[in-house]
């Protein structure tokens, strides 16, 4: 994961950006946004530039507007990668900030969310964060996973992931080239017990979903398309599944009803009286 693309287009960090605020959750400072009363939560796990990136916080606010309580933890403890520090290149920085450490540190956050009444949790990981998210999906700590331009995610991990997983890849990506992303797709296609979705965005580079130029209309368009796909995945596996379970408990219709989402990709069916 120490490739140059992980370091391209570094954001200008802004500690006070976003509509939310920073608080400690599960032992880590985190940017939180959205209603704390929501029983649906989404974790956004950053790339190497950390939780103060303005585009990432803007995305967190967008996800919150869709009805989720959103948490963006500071896994780097105030020490995001600083490309201007030539004495500490990324492969050295990574020795202090391994994804295995991130996986352990996210568990108390999940428990803290559950203690607040959260019943379903989704997680999206960007570059560095994708490895943490796939581990959460393997051990079923979350109910939906999204990997965006992932780094260091392996074929073996995709073979054993249990949570529904979407992979959004870039055509120009040294860390997860299209050939590898297509391998992910083939594996998921062979595993009908795990819902999977794979998409490769043409003409974009690693990091395009959060490290785009807000003045570049084309870059914004492709970033927003990926954001829309991410939200659709969470709708399908967090919000929609939640509604289905509630309707099964409460529905009293004497006739058959069909509800569809994601352009009929998901079909929930209720028959007679429940």
- Strand runs labelled E in 127-195: 144-148, 165-172
- Measured between alpha carbons, how far is 52 from 35 in angstroms, rounded to an integer? 20
Res 241 pLDDT > 90: no
Res 255 pLDDT > 60: no
Q: Cβ(52)–Cβ(80) under 8 Å?
A: yes
**Token match 């103060």: residue?**
52
Mean predicted confidence (pLDDT) in 238-255 = 57
List residues bridging with 20 in a β-sheet: none
- Residue 7's pLDDT is 86
- Measured between alpha carbons, how far is 138 from 136 in angstroms, rounded to an integer? 6
Rounded to 10 deg, the angle between the 54-65 and 217-234 helix axes is 40
- Measured between alpha carbons, how far is 212 from 161 in angstroms, rounded to an integer? 29
- Residue 143's pLDDT is 98
Concatenate the DSSP letters of all residues of 222-260 into one string: HHHHHHHHHHHHHIIIIIIHHHHHHHHHH---SS-EEEE
Contacts of 242-245 spanning 24+ positions with Cβ under 8 A = 242/39, 242/40, 242/119, 242/120, 243/268, 244/268
- Measured between alpha carbons, how far is 53 from 61 in angstroms, rounded to an integer? 13
Which residues does 3 contact at the CB level (< 8 Å), separation at least 6?
151, 174, 175
Query: Per the structure block, which two tokens stand in for 81?
Result: 């990668």
**Token match 């073979």: residue?**
159
Res 245 pLDDT > 90: no
- Residue 55's pLDDT is 98
pLDDT in tens, 73-130: 999 999 999 999 999 999 999 999 999 999 999 999 999 999 999 999 999 999 999 9
Query: Per the structure block, which two tokens stand in for 258?
Result: 């069909």
pLDDT in tens, 1-46: 445 678 888 999 999 999 999 999 999 999 999 999 999 999 999 9
List residues bridging with 148 in a β-sheet: 126, 168
Note the pTM of the prediction, 2 decimals: 0.89
Using 50, 70 and 90 to split pLDDT, how confident is the model at 273?
Answer: very low
- Measured between alpha carbons, how far is 151 from 47 in angstroms, rounded to an integer? 9
- Residue 242's pLDDT is 56
Q: Cβ(43)–Cβ(56) under 8 Å?
A: no
Mean predicted confidence (pLDDT) in 162-189 = 97
Closest C-alpha to 142, from 234, 29, 265, 75: 234
**Token match 């946004």: residue?**
33
Task: Provide the mean pLDDT of the chain.
Answer: 90
- Residue 128's pLDDT is 98
Using 50, 70 and 90 to split pLDDT, how confident is the model at 176?
Answer: very high
- Residue 62's pLDDT is 98
């Amino acid at each position: 994961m120490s490739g140059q693309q992980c370091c391209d287009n570094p954001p200008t960090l802004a500690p006070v950006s976003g509509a939310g605020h920073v608080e400690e959750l599960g032992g880590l400072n985190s940017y939180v946004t959205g209603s704390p009363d929501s029983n649906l939560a989404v974790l956004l796990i950053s790339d190497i530039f950390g939780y103060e990136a303005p585009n990432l916080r803007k995305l967190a606010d967008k996800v919150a507007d869709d009805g989720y309580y959103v948490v963006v933890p500071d896994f780097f403890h105030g020490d995001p990668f600083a490309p201007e520090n030539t004495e500490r290149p990324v492969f050295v920085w990574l020795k202090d900030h391994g994804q295995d450490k991130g996986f352990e540190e996210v568990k108390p956050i999940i428990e803290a969310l559950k203690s607040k009444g959260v019943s379903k949790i989704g997680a999206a990981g960007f570059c560095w964060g994708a490895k943490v998210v796939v581990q959460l999906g393997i051990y079923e700590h979350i109910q939906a996973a999204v990997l965006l331009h992932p780094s260091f995610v392996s074929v073996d991990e995709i073979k054993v992931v249990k949570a529904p997983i979407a992979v959004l890849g870039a055509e120009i990506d040294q860390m997860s080239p299209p050939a590898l992303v297509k391998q992910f797709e083939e594996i998921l296609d062979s595993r009908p017990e795990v819902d999977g979705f794979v998409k490769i965005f043409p003409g974009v580079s690693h990091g395009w979903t959060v490290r785009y130029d807000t003045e570049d209309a084309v870059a914004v368009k492709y970033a927003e398309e990926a954001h829309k796909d991410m939200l659709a995945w969470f709708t399908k596996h967090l919000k929609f599944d939640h509604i289905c379970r509630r309707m099964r408990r409460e529905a009293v219709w004497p006739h058959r009803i069909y509800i569809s989402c994601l352009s009929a990709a998901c079909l929930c069916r209720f028959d007679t009286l429940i």
